Structure 1
Amino acid sequence: MKKPLKFISISALVILAILAIGLYLVTRPRLIAESSSEDKKYCLSFIETDSPAFFGSSEVKIELKSNGRERTERQEINTSIANDGKYLDETNWRVNWKKDHVEVTLMGEEQGDEIIKIYYIQTNF
């Protein structure tokens, strides 16, 4: 009587562990692409923070970091992209570096282009 119960308990734990690992791998933040300014003072990251479930939108974070020698500062923008439940890739964004800001265009199959302007971090040391 104890052997079947022990086998069922161990099997259930193994299945739960496999499901938990799979869920983590699907929902963990994923770096999609990076871009650096021409002068290498700033770095922009495109990160998927939550993948879609059944044709939903993907949650993303756009992160701008300054590459200061003494201090690094960063700005984050959180938004979503409607891409018909598909995984995001480098084709879902376009970056234009300007004199005082960076323009990020986010594109998805089920939405119009979303333009986000992030002004550079002014650091005076």
Structure 2
Amino acid sequence: MIKPISHQIIETKEAPGAIGAYSQAVKAGNTLYISGQIPLDPATGDLVDGDIEAQIERVFDNLAAVAKAAGTTLAHVVKFTIYLTDMADFAAVNTVMQARLDAPYPARAAVGVAALPKGARVEADAILVLG
């Protein structure tokens, strides 16, 4: 019989709460899975004002807050998935990532989507390996 993997739910008020039936993050073994973050201000629950770079910065702030709640940082990310409603914003993602992360950079996928929750222009999730 296969023993189920134990996991820990990660939650923080420093990032927006879940909008639906999911957790901000789940830690299973030495892997942390951070759910998709959109550019919501955790204090107000509203989308941040500003251009696409401001939205991307807020998304990375939210991802970093969830990582911190799990006792880690974005330096442990092995894979990001970025969702964009306009692939022309791809260059802005690169600009923010280069400013926030050190090389060598994690793996990444960028996916064009028709729409995101609350009218966001960007969403990102992350997988981190700890220890």
* TM-score, L = length of structure 2: 0.29
The higher relative CO (CA closer than 8 Å, separation ≥ 6) is in 2
* TM-score, L = length of structure 1: 0.30
Structure (1 or 2) with the greater helix fraction: 2
